Amino acid sequence: MDDSDILQHLLEIEGQAATLVDDAQAEADRRIKEAEEQNRLAFDEAYQKLTAELETEYQKAAGAVKDEYDKTLGEFRADLDCMPRKNESFSALAFSLLVGEK
């Protein structure tokens, strides 16, 4: 085997090695892309589930606050309705404040 045959053989081996590296890189890129897609789907699913749970909790808490508000407002109105009204005294005070006479 002469030097040119050896050199040609080495170049063929180098070409095969380059092809193997390219194939390995393409396979790695494909696997990474596939893993990213699977992870994105898993993330989206978990995110949707969590946001649905949080929305449910929020609606429940908002409903409880609204119920408490309505209850407190009802009690306040009931207390106001029970208070005696002194219309004549109020009118006299308002007149004196607005007109300035006593």
pLDDT value at 83 more than 80: yes
pLDDT value at 102 more than 60: no
Overall domain count for the chain: 1
Least confident of 6-15, 44-53, 55-64: 6-15
CA distances from 7 to 4, 11, 20, 21, 96 (A): 5, 6, 20, 21, 118
Least confident of 15-19, 53-57, 71-75, 98-102: 98-102
pLDDT value of residue 101: 67
Instruction: Write out the residue range of the structural domain in which residue 60 sits.
Output: 3-99
